[in-house]
Structure 1
């Protein structure tokens, strides 16, 4: 017995791939020839409906459109929402509304919240690994390594919010009876084009430094493999991260990105997931509203130590002069 697919709903293959079953329940898969957690005979499985993540909620695309997501073997995995220009505007509005509260929190508290995101991801490790294995056609062990690296990346950036000011700030020597102090401050709303070849680790490596420094983000997930990003949205929604700090859109990057690049209320643009030709066009659009732009760096090694290079592009240095003795 089967049910027809409906727009915005998942409709995977007739059974879970063997490796995905092993990832979900390694012990069960080891002593059973059937996929782990196989549905009872005669039961219709409940298919998952994938939506956008905006303002801490999971709305459907206002256009009602969706597109098929397939695995590395061409098998249909799900239907993902096809975000529109209106969805992009709504995400920017949510990010702008969340910015004062998020940037106004103490740096220590932001670090605590990022660590909490790592905890929530750790609890969903098997689900993330299964999604990566299906999307990229890699083995179970490699998928688990990539998920662990993504969790560790959150922990890494969780340690930076209360330290980046000391690293990048300074008391500047000046001639005259003044104190001259410089400190980094967040730039505002940052649009992030996630790298298509690294749908989880690359995504986390791009988003975590943006919000660690007090910015809010509008993310365009990997068009090819959006499911890990949507599962990450569920982890974010159940963590302590305020709604609107991270907003995740799925769909055609080439359709959504130009609207974000030209949007006057977007302050920064991370072009990591854009190709060279598209990046040049988007950068020209961003220049009209004086956005800070992080250009794509070619083939990235997402497993390498990240350093602070992804935190500095979306920080602004503010300098204060104060008379001595006053």
Structure 2
């Protein structure tokens, strides 16, 4: 990408830290996003987060740290992903795909595509088997068209307002790809 050796090493270190940070949420996100709800009656009421399903992600042009920052929150919450790699700098995504293919990650959890966003994004937005789409890497002039295509099958659409990849990621990206299931259970019956 033209970065110096020092800058590249810093981005790799930040990406590794980001993977570790999100991995730490794997057994905690249910406790944070779920709840035991108080109800007036002889019932227990629990809300638990569940994965949305297949999440399409249009990756940002931040080749490694941005890529990791959009993949990790989607998969740590139990989703599978289809990633459209950064168009001007796809090498980091291609290399990451090789690393993931030889890791303990089950096959099919992360699927990385290279190509033109303007060709791939509309298909992902309108595809009936894609349950959510992250428009992080989409230019502003294409967002409305993709949101309209996604609305055709009630797809969740995530469009973050700020993308400072070096900032604390928070939980918003993880919870964007969760659905809440609420269960009622009688007490004392």
TM-score normalised by the shorter chain: which range applies? over 0.9
Cα displacement (A) at 1:296: 3.9
Counterpart selection for 2:40 from 168, 175, 179: 175
Matched, 1:263 2:127: yes
Q: Is the 8 A contact 1:165 1:184 kept in 2?
A: yes
Matched residue of 1:181: which SS? strand
For the pair shown, which has the larger CA radius of gyration, 1 or 2? 1
Q: Which ranges of structure 1 fall in alignment gaps of 5 or more residues?
A: 1-134
In 2, the alpha carbon distance for the partners of 1:318 and 1:146 equals 37
Q: Is the 8 A contact 1:189 1:268 kept in 2?
A: yes
Match of 2:136 in 1: 272
| Displaced runs of 4 or more, over 2 A | none
Matched, 1:318 2:181: yes
**Between Structure 1 and Structure 2, which shows a larger proportion of strand residues?**
2
Higher relative contact order (CA 8 A, sep 6+): 2
Matched residue of 2:14: which SS? helix
In 1, the alpha carbon distance for the partners of 2:14 and 2:172 equals 18
In 2, the alpha carbon distance for the partners of 1:296 and 1:215 equals 19
Match of 2:150 in 1: 286
Match of 1:305 in 2: 168
Cα displacement (A) at 1:281: 0.7
Cα displacement (A) at 1:241: 0.5
* TM-score computed with the length of structure 1 as normaliser: 0.57
In 1, the alpha carbon distance for the partners of 2:132 and 2:108 equals 16
Matched residue of 1:182: which SS? strand
* TM-score computed with the length of structure 2 as normaliser: 0.98
Cα displacement (A) at 1:138: 2.0
Counterpart selection for 2:98 from 234, 245, 252: 234
**RMSD of aligned Cα (Å):** 0.8
In 2, the alpha carbon distance for the partners of 1:283 and 1:289 equals 11
In 2, the alpha carbon distance for the partners of 1:209 and 1:152 equals 13
The count of aligned residue pairs is 189
